[in-house]
Amino acid sequence: MATDKRDLRRVIAASMIGTTIEWYDFFLYGAAAALVFNKLFFPKSDPVTGTLLAFATYAVGFAARPLGGLVFGHFGDRIGRKRLLMLSLMLMGGATVLIGCLPTYAQIGVAAPLLLVLLRLVQGFAVGGEWGGAVLMAAEHGDSARRGFWTSWPQSGVAFGNLFASGLLAFLATTQSDADFLAWGWRVPFLLSAVLIGVGWWVRSRVEESPLFVAARRAAAAMERAPALEVFRRRPRRLLIGMGLKFGENLSYYVITVFSITYVTQVVGLTRQVALNAVLIGSAVHAVATISSGALSDRIGRRWVYAAGAGGMAIWAFAFFPLLGRAAPGAIILAVTGGLIFHGLMCGPQAAFMAEMFPTRIRYSGVSLAYQLTSIFAGSLAPLIALAILQQTGSALGVSVYVGVAGLISFAAALLARETRGKSFAEIDAEA
């Protein structure tokens, strides 16, 4: 039931643009937590403790993601993918704009970090529902032969979102003094989200609902009253494998793109511009690696591409911090870019891999739960745990071990998973 090529391109564009916007909003907060929030919202603390508190508010967004995945997954399997995607876009964009308007601790005291936490919760809830719908729109409109390639485009929205967020912050860091950046410059990227919401809404409103969902809805027997419960009841092994796949990918990404900014600026002693430039260049390469690996998974299989990325990440973790420690911009760029290439090998085939684990009637709930439950103890805690390890040991070796073990967990999950390359959703539904 593949969509014709013109409509398919429109669906892919809508999925990628919307995902890019939402991850731009989400990652913007992460970069700001490392550079700004520790000074403006937690000024009573010493620099390291202030950063820990800022990362704690960052982690709060991840805590809300499983709830978003559960709610959006339920209604996405009940009333459709498209409606939920429109809602997630508005929630995420609105919360981001309001963060850009927040008064600081110096202006309203403790209410400032409390409001920051509240808006971060809304961001997490929204992004928790975004991913599943975006990748399923691409997967369910496309054909089985190139599903890895089609779904890698919304996956690349992760890289593009981080590219735009870090790029804009790097530009502001270059053109503004530290005083101006802290006074008002950091607000600009957040307020810009208002324009992006309009663009994303216009693009997404022009696509049709998933044809597979429409067909399933017509067959009353195919609809589940509680799709999330069905995932736990009938697909527990696949849910656990999906979480295992996500664990190393999620954890390593936030160490590379968020914790590295803190490490370069506070431990190595270089400027925020050097750190942001490395993330900027690495994100551009990451986008290419993600799309290429998605296409490669259509040729040689999801398992082997994913396993190569996870295993490579486990090894690269031990080169990452020594490269950062050289305090040379070129070495820092190499560290971040190399890590993001291995991450791209996991990120590219991930959406197709997970979508092929669940039948249509519970697919939104299944992929959302596998993706978002992992974020509680992987992505959310990664910068906090990495910083705590560094603070306690005075060495980054422990952080390398932490990332390396996470990579091995995803490596094992990839080998335990069934190969699903080339299977049609009709075959997957029939097996279910």
What tens digit of pLDDT does each residue of 29-73 get?
Answer: 766 766 777 778 776 665 655 565 666 666 677 778 788 888 887
Question: What pLDDT does 1 receive?
Answer: 47
| Tokens, residue 166 | 């870090």
What tens digit of pLDDT does each residue of 290-318 get?
Answer: 999 999 999 999 999 999 999 999 999 99
CB 347 within 8 A of CB 155: yes
- Give me the residue spans of the domains in the chain: 5-431
- Please report, as a single letter, which amino acid is at residue 352: A
Distance between alpha carbon 216 and the CA centroid of its chain, in Å?
29
Report the C-alpha dihedral over residues 310, 311, 315, 317, rounded to 10 degrees. 10
Q: What is the CATH number of domain 5-431?
A: 1.20.1250.20
- Please report, as a single letter, which amino acid is at residue 134: A
Q: 398-415 in b/e burial notation, b at 16+ Cβ within 10 A?
A: bbbebbbebbbbbbbbbe
- Classified as helix, coil or strand, 381 is coil
CB 138 within 8 A of CB 11: yes
Percent of the chain predicted with pLDDT > 90: 30
Question: What pLDDT does 223 receive?
Answer: 58
Question: What pLDDT does 53 receive?
Answer: 64
Residues in the chain: 432
- pTM, to two decimals: 0.83
Which stretches of the chain score pLDDT less than 50? 1
